[in-house]
Amino acid sequence: MMSRNPFGDAPFPGTSRPNPFGEEPATMAPGEAARRMEQAARKIRGLRSQLGSEGLTLHGTRELIDEVAAALEAGARALRGLE
């Protein structure tokens, strides 16, 4: 979705962040996306062991966010491929 620039009429892209590891393929097969989402779910379940009295460690929190984001992106790419 394109937003309008408040300082002019030129549209600018939304708030998507660039992938620091390179560009992902534009589309992904549903099976690949499902595998990516399953891998993220396994990783998230594994992060439960890092819970302490203060919650997740800072590293664990970052890892959790990265896994959830990657899984959501994989699902979105697969859904775009179904169109």
Task: Parse the chain into domains and list their residue ranges.
Answer: 29-83
What mean pLDDT is predicted for residues 32-39?
A: 80
Residue corresponding to tokens 């589309």: 27
Residue type, 69: A
Rounded Cα distance between 36 and 32, Å, is 6
Express each pLDDT in 41-82 by its tens digit: 787 777 766 666 667 778 888 888 888 888 888 887 777 777
Confidence of residue 8 (pLDDT cuts 50, 70, 90): low
DSSP, residue by residue, 8-38:
SS-EE--SPPPPTT-PPPS---HHHHHHHHH
Confidence of residue 35 (pLDDT cuts 50, 70, 90): confident
- Residue 43 is encoded by which pair of tokens? 């990783």
pLDDT value, residue 19: 59
Residue corresponding to tokens 């959501």: 72
